[in-house]
Amino acid sequence: MALRLGDTVPDFTQDSQLGPIHLYDFAADSWVVLFSHPADYTPVCTTELGEVARLRPEWEKRNVKTIALSVDSAESHKGWIGDINETQHTTVDYPILADADKKVSDLYDMIHPNALNNLTVRSVFIIDPNKKLRLQITYPASTARNFDEILRVIDSLQLTEYHSVATPVNWKDGDDVVVVPSISTEDARVKFPKGVTEIRPYLRTTPQPNR
């Protein structure tokens, strides 16, 4: 059955170019971005995996570990990483799962045969430290993902998790946020000393608490 937001994600052990990866052990108490791509030695994927490597300081700032996946072998990944590093001017240091037996692809429903036969599409899963699924997005093979958007969603999820606020339309880091409906305006004024603006009783904004 397809995974749904809030589900505990299935654990797995799978080979990678860095050796076997056991998801739950690898994740430990970090957030995880697990993302699939169609194939090694393809142009769009080369740019994506390079960008994820370049963003390493951003992942670390947010306590996020990244894991890529395709149905190619670990040997193929090793050779391709040389190309990614050279052409994208970076160092890929995160695991790329070698899911040749499609164990993880099937578990996470990453193969959509009517779009791309036998290869994984561009799935993204954000998993929290409790191993709960917090976001999933699926992109077609021909469109690279915007990893700045993935970081933006992680910032939003972490603001909700650690500060009880949600983020309004087109929110960017540093913009005002909204108070979650479960907190009364009276309690919000105590919890958010930077101030609460009540536009409607159900629509309250406050400056981003962690800035």
Enumerate the active-site residues.
Answer: 45
Q: At how many degrees (to 10) do helices 43-54 and 147-163 cross? A: 40
Q: Which is nearer to ligand BEZ, 104 or 141 (CB)?
A: 141
Q: Which is nearer to ligand BEZ, 80 or 192 (CB)?
A: 80
Non-local (6+) Cβ contacts of 187 within 8 A are none
Separation CA 211–CA 198 (nearest Å)? 21
Q: What are phi and psi of 68, to 5 degrees?
A: -95, 170
The nearest distance, CB 46 to ligand BEZ, in angstroms, is 7
The nearest distance, CB 43 to ligand BEZ, in angstroms, is 4
Separation CA 48–CA 50 (nearest Å)? 5
Q: Which is nearer to ligand BEZ, 121 or 188 (CB)?
A: 121
Q: Which is nearer to ligand BEZ, 30 or 42 (CB)?
A: 42
Site residues (CB under 6 A) for ligand BEZ?
38-39, 42-45, 141-142
Contact criterion met (CB below 8 Å) for 17 and 78: yes
Dihedral angle computed from the Cα positions of residues 55, 93, 157 and 161, in that order, rounded to the nearest 10 degrees:
-130
Contact criterion met (CB below 8 Å) for 83 and 40: no
